[in-house]
Structures are given as structure tokens and as C-alpha cells.
Structure 1
Amino acid sequence: MKSEIIKTKRTNIRKMLLMIPLICSLLALGFNFLGGPEIVRLSAETIINHWAILWLSVIIALTAGLLNNLEKKSTNFKTIIGLPINLQKKEMSRVLLVTGFAALGSLLLIITILLTSLLIRTSPYLVPLSSCILAVILIFVTSLWQVPFCLWLSRKTNFFITLLLNSMLNLNLGTLFAPTKDWWIIPYSWHLRVQMPLTKLHSNGIPLPQKDELLSYSVIPIALVLSFLLFFVLTFVAVRSFNKIEVK
């Protein structure tokens, strides 16, 4: 873990980690200000919606892809293979590192939401601030499965395919299935669905009417269980796959 953290020094990984939550917030606020005073009130909820639709998936794909790029461009994993270490534990440390970066990005987003609520006193408008914070936490947890998936995918393909595929599937497939009854079938829709009852906002950015079925909290425990199961399965696959590079 320490060696992986050291590798990220003086790289774009840390810069992107700081910039992406800020970009997400500024873009969401910019769109809201174009909509007028009534839409500006929804700034906190809109920031969360933008974060779930695109930016958290971008952070995970960027971090995983750049980590693998560091290894490919230096020795193509030959240094790691030659070390007397457990390769499965090595990959687990990389999973934990990307998870930590995603958690830090989520924390930075929470800070920007808190600052937004101070600058725009009517934001959040639909829900309490505590619900907004909980929504960001649940979005992070239900997106954890993307970490081992992106590490494996970027190692098998490349950085650009991983970034494009992870962000576009989330943006298109996730938003398509999240409001439907089949939301649980598509992993990319899980984090979009759990934020709806907490922010009272549809994945398309429109406030949900009262008593809408999408406001049901029953989806949250289902999404959490499915997310943890898929995270463990994909982590197992990624770790076993990484271990096999020893024989190449």
C-alpha cells in the first residue's frame, strides 16, 4: 500500500482527485444558474445527481487506468513480478488504494455541498442537508464494484477504453434502467436508484412528485447487498487474474 501511494506522487492522479469534485460542482451550479432562481435552489441535489451520473465513475476509471499506465510505461509489471511478494495481496492493495481515492473524492464533494449550502441558503431545497450527505455516501458504496472492474479492464485493455466504457455505460445504461423496475439487473443503475429517495430528484434532474414509487427507500438495502456481493466477486476475479501474470 505504501509503495502504491508513493507511486502517485507528482502524477496527475492526485491533481484529478482534487479537480473532478470541483468541476462537477461548478458545472452543476452553472446549469442551475442558467435555469433561474427556482432551479438554483436545487443546487445541492443537482451536484449529487451529476456526481452519480458521471463523475464518480470517471474518478474510479481515471485512477485505476493511470495506476496501470504507470506500471505499463515503466516496466510493464516486470518489477512487481520479480519481487518476492504475494501478487494477490499486491492487487488487493491497489483495490484499496483506488477505493480510498474514490472515498476522498466523495468527501471533497460533501465539502463542496456544505459550502454551497452556506452560499445559497435555500440549497438543498427538497431534502435536509443530512440526506444529501447520506446520498453521497451511498452512491460511493454502491459504486465500489467499479474499482476491481476498472483495474482488471485497464490492465487487459488500456486507459482510454476503460475511461470511455465505464463513463458511457454509467451515463447511458445506468440512467436508462435506474427509473425502471429492472434497475437491480444493471449494476450501473444501483447508485443512481439509491440517490432518488434521498435527494427526491429523478436521474434526469427533475424533482420527483410526492408519493412517486421512485421515492421508496426499500431499494437501498437491496442495492447495498448487491453492490457488496459484486464487489467481492470482482475483487476475487481481479486478484486471481493479477496473480496469473507471474507465469507470463
Structure 2
Amino acid sequence: MKRYFRAEKLKYRHTFLKGIVVLMPLISVFFSAMLTHAYFAVDSYNWWYMILYPGMLGIVCGMIGGKDKRKKNFTIWSLPCSMEKIWDAKVLLGAALSGIAVGITIILTIIMGQFMESALHMKFIIQPSLKMQLTAGLLMWLTTLWQIPFCLLLSQKMGTFVMLLIHMGSYAIISAAISLKPWFAALPGAITSRLMCPVLGILPNGLPAVEGQMTYSPELMELQNLMIGLPAAILWFLILWLVSRKWFERQVTV
């Protein structure tokens, strides 16, 4: 498996794939610092997992899946290799790049927050602790892994542009609306924004998760949401991985 992963990485050595992984977190942190000030940290994360992160994952998966697809996958189907392992390598590469992007976002947000507070003497209305920010980063990564096989599969079947429209459009609606429902774990796109309510104190609409705010309810702040949402997100990831893996392998035999 290690050889498949290394081979997949080599395909994108001279592409902008790594640049996207760095650029998108920079955009989230920079614009949050410039535009929101007192709500910097929470807006940096909210803009990230609600808009920029799913968009970045869609672009990354489009690039990972699109390179071979432009040649109708003949370059890999003609090889004496396991198609399932090739697909696994694509998923694992997407997961690794996803983790790097989240890590960059967390580090930049923490550093920028400390700079704004100590050098610029800004006071934040909401400032999650370091522990909460690190926990949020881990949860963001784990609860969005399902997007990688999902977007890879859609890009193979429909192309990158259509995949981005479907993924971004559905995610925006689900993460904002369905995440407020008791059955949020039934749709993977609702899980991340729901779990950020008790962890970071942010509602899906970006407002502080306090009584009196629009869409707030005490149920959103219950820690048992973590016990429901995290296993559900991992289960969704495994299901989508196995389904997409089987589909990709069948393209050679049909």
C-alpha cells in the first residue's frame, strides 16, 4: 500500500495541489483577521468548515481524480496493479492533504490570535481555549473525511465542475439547516457544524452559541452530540469509501 500511496503523490509533484492546501487556510485566517476583529477566532473556524474547507476538499478531489480521468483512466487500468489499492491511495492522499490543511488553519489561527491580542491589544468577545481549538481541529478532520471518497466518486462519474456544484450546494444547505435537527447524524454534511457548537461555542450561522441568538437551543450544546456525531461521521466515511472502492474496481471488469 505504501508504494501505491507514494506513486499517487508523485503524480501531483508539479501541480498546484499543495498550493491549494496552504492557500485556502491562509484566506480563511487572513480575511477573518481583517474583517471580524473581536470575533476573529470563531469566524476563522466557522468560515473554514462551512465554506472554504469543503470547497478545498472538492478542488483537491477533483485534481486527484481528474488527472487519470482526463485519459479515461487507461493509464492505470492497463497496469498490472490492484485497482482497489489505487483507489485507496487516492482516498488516503486526500485524507493526508485534508489533515495538513486543518493543521495549518489551527496553527495560523492560534498564532494570529496571540499576535492580535498581545501586539495589537485587541479584545476578543469569544476566545476558545487552546485545548478547545486543538480538539476542534481533530474533529473537523475526522468528521469531514467522508467528503473525500464522496467527491472522488462524483468527479469520476460527473466531472469536477458538476461535482463542485452538487457538493458545495448540498453541503451549504445541510450544514446550516439539518445540523440543528435531532437527527443531524443521518446526513454526514450536518455533523461537523453541529459538533462545533459545544466545542467552539459557534452556531452554524456563525453567531455565538448563547441563549437569545437566532437558531440557538440548549440541545445544541450537549456534549452527547459528540458521542453520536463522531462515530456516525466515521461510519459514513467507511461506507462511502467501500462503495466507491467497489465501484472503481468494477470499471475494469465490466
TM normalised by structure 1 equals 0.91
Going from structure 1 to structure 2, the CA distance change for 1:245 and 1:124 (only over 3 Å counts) comes to farther
Structure 1: give runs of 5+ residues left out of the alignment. 33-39
How much does 1:5 deviate? 0.5
Residue in 1 that maps onto 2:20: 16
- Distance in 1, matches of 2:181 and 2:250, equals 39
Residue in 2 that maps onto 1:117: 113
Residue in 2 that maps onto 1:25: 29
Larger mean CA deviation between 117-126 and 190-199 belongs to 117-126
1:77-108 Cα offsets, whole Å, 9 max, x none, are 11211111111111011100000010000011
Contact 2:185–2:233 under 8 Å retained in 1: no
How much does 1:25 deviate? 1.5
How much does 1:124 deviate? 7.9
1:196-236 Cα offsets, whole Å, 9 max, x none, are 11111111111122683311111012111111111111111
Runs of 4+ in structure 1 off by over 4 angstroms are none
Question: 219, 229, 240: which is aligned to 1:213?
Answer: 219
Question: 50, 54, 68: which is aligned to 1:57?
Answer: 54
Contact 1:174–1:186 under 8 Å retained in 2: no
Residue 234 of structure 2 corresponds to residue 238 of structure 1: no
Residue 44 of structure 2 aligns to a residue whose secondary structure is: helix
Contact 2:175–2:190 under 8 Å retained in 1: yes
1:44-94 Cα offsets, whole Å, 9 max, x none, are 111111111112211211111111221122x32112111111111110111
Matched residue type, 1:199? L
- Distance in 2, matches of 1:221 and 1:59, equals 27
Structure 2: give runs of 5+ residues left out of the alignment. 118-122, 212-216
Question: 44, 69, 75: which is aligned to 2:41?
Answer: 44
- Distance in 1, matches of 2:155 and 2:173, equals 20
Residue in 2 that maps onto 1:82: 78
- Distance in 2, matches of 1:229 and 1:185, equals 11
- Distance in 1, matches of 2:125 and 2:18, equals 29
1:144-165 Cα offsets, whole Å, 9 max, x none, are 1111111111000100111122
Residue in 2 that maps onto 1:157: 158
- Distance in 1, matches of 2:35 and 2:174, equals 23
Residue 235 of structure 2 corresponds to residue 223 of structure 1: no
How much does 1:181 deviate? 2.1
Residue 180 of structure 2 aligns to a residue whose secondary structure is: coil
How much does 1:119 deviate? 1.6
- Distance in 2, matches of 1:17 and 1:92, equals 20
TM normalised by structure 2 equals 0.89
Going from structure 1 to structure 2, the CA distance change for 1:87 and 1:124 (only over 3 Å counts) comes to farther
Question: 7, 13, 18: which is aligned to 2:11?
Answer: 7
How much does 1:183 deviate? 1.7
Contact 1:141–1:227 under 8 Å retained in 2: yes
Contact 1:44–1:132 under 8 Å retained in 2: no
How much does 1:134 deviate? 1.0
Larger mean CA deviation between 170-179 and 124-133 belongs to 124-133
Residue in 1 that maps onto 2:92: 96
Residue in 2 that maps onto 1:36: none
Over the aligned positions, Cα root-mean-square deviation in angstroms equals 1.6
